[in-house]
Amino acid sequence: MKTHLKRKNYYLDEKKIRRVRTILGAKTETEAIDAALNLVVFRKEILKSLEKVAGQGWSRKGFLVAKHLIDTDLYIDLIQSGTTLPFIRELYDKDAPGIYFSSIVAQELLAGARSPAARKRVEILFRPFERVGRVVTPGHNHWKNAGGILAKVLRDRPGRT
């Protein structure tokens, strides 16, 4: 994406800028503001993509659309530093009809959101999916199957006795 930099002067809350710098791990105030603006733009792109495909169902042009779930660690990185933004943006651009949000990811992100501002950042990520009915919540059998798979992986892991 081509950037169009121009010097601007604004009255901004310094305390809020410091918080954004800390949350996003930005080295400068400019970097923090730019990253925060990128998150806002990305959220809008998510909303547009999801609203465009809402109601299209499971297939597109006769082909099954695969479900994609983005793991918690990628969202954490997106919130904190933004380094996964290009990957997530590419996934949304290519596979918007198949992208869903996991209730487990929502729970994990909310558990780490220790302030009202942090909670709001997390809600910005999952609310669009709720609005268009693209939330995946595993049932009891899914959890049982996952437990069996995890036990097998741990049992068969090299170096274990």
For 46-101, what is each residue's pLDDT tens digit? Answer: 666 655 655 544 444 444 456 788 888 888 888 888 788 888 888 877 777 788 89
How would residue 2 be classed by pLDDT, with cut points 50, 70 and 90?
A: low
What's the pLDDT tens digit per position in 122-138?
A: 888 888 889 888 898 88
- What is the DSSP secondary-structure string of 90-157? HHHHHHGGGEEEEHHHHHHHHHH--SHHHHHHHHHHHHHHHHTT-EE---HHHHHHHHHHHHHHHHH-
Task: Report the C-alpha gap between 61 and 32 in whole angstroms.
Answer: 42
Average pLDDT over residues 133-154: 83
